[in-house]
Amino acid sequence: MEFKTETLENGLTIVGEIMPLSRSAALGFFTRTGGRDETAEISGVSHFLEHMMFKGTKKRTALEVNLEFDRMGANYNAFTSEENTAYYAAVLPEYVDNALELWCDLLRPSLRVEDFTIEKNVILEEIAMYKDLPQFDVLDRCRKLHFGDHQCGNSVLGTVQTITDLKCEQMVDYFNARYSPDNMVLVCVGNIDWDDFVGQVRQHCSSWQAYKPKRILSDFAGTGMLNVLSDEKIQREHICLMASAPSAQSDKRYAASLLSNIIGDDGNSRLYWQLVDTALADSADLEYDSMDGTGAFYCYLSCEPEKADRVLDIAKKVFANIRTNGVSEEELEGSKNKLASAMTLSGELPMGRFVPLGYDWIYRKKYRSLADSLKELQGVTVKDINAMLEQYDFSNLTVQGLGPCQRLG
């Protein structure tokens, strides 16, 4: 396994982890753009644009794009978050050139009005689908509540109103402002001929113009507000708690990952024993989301409405206890084993290395092999976690309820 990198004159960076023995390869683009880079008027445009990226170019119609991916047997998709949009495909080695040419062409899309009009309906269906899933909706609402006016509170999907009102020209303007080669990273992993790969990227992408797009970066501790949205049609009470956490650039992020695992892994964690083992809640977990310049812990709870106050109270006590007493050596070892094993297992597949490689570059402009990452993880001590808890102590919790309850707490 060998790491390679190259930056073209226009700023497009290519990073690769070459594994000559792999039976497949994964490749695709990360673009540093998402919900936080939108104004209120065009809320949802990043995600809608991600869909439109598959709708063809000067050379290809939408149907031709889909057929071409299928002819390679590609396992391909894309995702949009608050701050990144990624496009990727896993293919057999003989299709790497074809997949690369296709992605490079698609990332300069035509954005035709006819396609835009049909796809708008698909986006509205996606919004409707998530509206029927309160377990997602509550996280979205809580993020907005937690971040207040900070850009990280922006919705990724947008609303029915903003999507309905959005015009194709606005999307074209947004594309032109964000999909600059110096705002993108091309990542490849697996069975790839690097020199040949870079030569082809030069051919396909050298003409892309760079214009140094900017992003507003600031940390934000969270509003600590409480909001309850009562909806009788929902069966359970869905509760999200958020607290500030280290950013993606912080050296505390491994400590934060381990802490969230100790508190809220879906088995054998503090929240699990207090709430799930005892059948008070059907879900009680904690996730750590490291972001550009800021970060957040998300705790998700789901229970019967009659038990909501009790469940919320127990969860808060779990956080208070961690704040006062820290974590134990034994818990830390258990969580290290779980996370290290997860990283090792996913690292056996090219697709499993694609995302960590992309994020290491997008956020930190640094390469870390799987072995480097494991070493950093194993190096975290109880002292490190307790030191982090002094700064990120779960004392200022933002709380969003969604379900039959009229009020919480």
Partner 1 sequence: MSEVQIKKLANGLTMIAEPMADVSSGSFSIRLPAGTARENIGLNGLSSIMTDLVFRGTEEMDSRTLSAKLDSLGLHYNSGSSNLYSSFSGALVADKLGEALKLHADVFMRARLEEEQFELCRESALQHLDSLEDDPRQKISMLAFENFMMVPYGKPSVGKEKEIQAISHEDALNFYKRFYNPNGAIIAVAGAIEAEATFAMIEENFGSWQGEKLDVLPKAKYQCLNSHQHKDGAQIHIAMIYPSVNIHHEDYYKAKAAVAILSGGMGSRLFTEVREKRGLCYSVGASHTMIADQGLIMGYVGSSPDKAQEALDVMKNEFVNLANGISEDELDRAKIGLRASLIMQGESSGARAGGCAGDYALLGRVRSLEEIEKAILDLSVDDVVGFAKANQPEEFTITTIGAKELI
CB-nearer residue toward partner 1: 282 or 313 = 282
C-alpha to C-alpha distances, 371 to 87, 335, 343, 344, 347, nearest whole angstrom: 26, 18, 10, 9, 10
What lies within 8 Å, CB to CB, of 394 at 6+ separation is 243, 297, 319, 320, 322, 323
Instruction: Pick the piece of the chain touching partner 1 (CB under 8 A) from 16-24, 28-36, 141-149, 243-251.
Output: 16-24
Minimum separation from the CB atom of position 289 to partner 1 (A): 21
Instruction: Pick the piece of the chain touching partner 1 (CB under 8 A) from 115-123, 177-185, 211-219, 244-252.
Output: 115-123
- Asked if residue 119 binds partner 1 (CB under 8 A), the reply is yes
CB-nearer residue toward partner 1: 210 or 343 = 343
- Asked if residue 340 binds partner 1 (CB under 8 A), the reply is yes
Look-up of token digits 């998402």: 34
Residue in 251, 313, 333, 372 binding partner 1, rule: CB under 8 A? 333
Amino acid at 147: F
- Asked if residue 282 binds partner 1 (CB under 8 A), the reply is yes
CB-nearer residue toward partner 1: 151 or 283 = 283
Residue in 196, 348, 372, 376 binding partner 1, rule: CB under 8 A? 348
CB burial of residue 180 (10 Å; 0-12, 13-18, 19+) = buried
- Asked if residue 364 binds partner 1 (CB under 8 A), the reply is no
- Asked if residue 126 binds partner 1 (CB under 8 A), the reply is yes
Residue in 113, 133, 217, 387 binding partner 1, rule: CB under 8 A? 133
Farthest-apart Cα atoms in the chain, separation: 63
Window 65 to 94, contacts with partner 1 (CB under 8 A): 66-75, 90-92
Look-up of token digits 């695709």: 28
How far apart are the two ends of the chain, measured CA to CA in Å? Answer: 53
Count of alpha carbons within 13 Å of 291, Cβ hemisphere only? Answer: 30
Residue in 154, 274, 290, 302 binding partner 1, rule: CB under 8 A? 302
> How far is 6 from 17, CA to CA, in rounded Å?
12
- Asked if residue 344 binds partner 1 (CB under 8 A), the reply is yes
Residue in 268, 369, 386, 396 binding partner 1, rule: CB under 8 A? 268
Instruction: Pick the piece of the chain touching partner 1 (CB under 8 A) from 221-229, 279-287, 314-322, 358-366.
Output: 279-287
CB-nearer residue toward partner 1: 217 or 345 = 345
Residue in 1, 78, 124, 226 binding partner 1, rule: CB under 8 A? 124
Minimum separation from the CB atom of position 78 to partner 1 (A): 11
Minimum separation from the CB atom of position 95 to partner 1 (A): 8
- Asked if residue 135 binds partner 1 (CB under 8 A), the reply is yes
Look-up of token digits 């600590």: 224
- Asked if residue 62 binds partner 1 (CB under 8 A), the reply is yes
- Asked if residue 337 binds partner 1 (CB under 8 A), the reply is yes
Instruction: Pick the piece of the chain touching partner 1 (CB under 8 A) from 103-111, 129-137, 292-300, 311-319.
Output: 129-137
Minimum separation from the CB atom of position 252 to partner 1 (A): 23
Window 183 to 222, contacts with partner 1 (CB under 8 A): none
- Asked if residue 122 binds partner 1 (CB under 8 A), the reply is yes
Residues contributing to the site for partner 1 (CB under 8 A): 21-24, 54, 62-63, 66-75, 90-92, 118-129, 131-135, 233-236, 238, 267-268, 273, 276-279, 281-283, 302-304, 330, 333-335, 337-338, 340-342, 344-345, 348-349
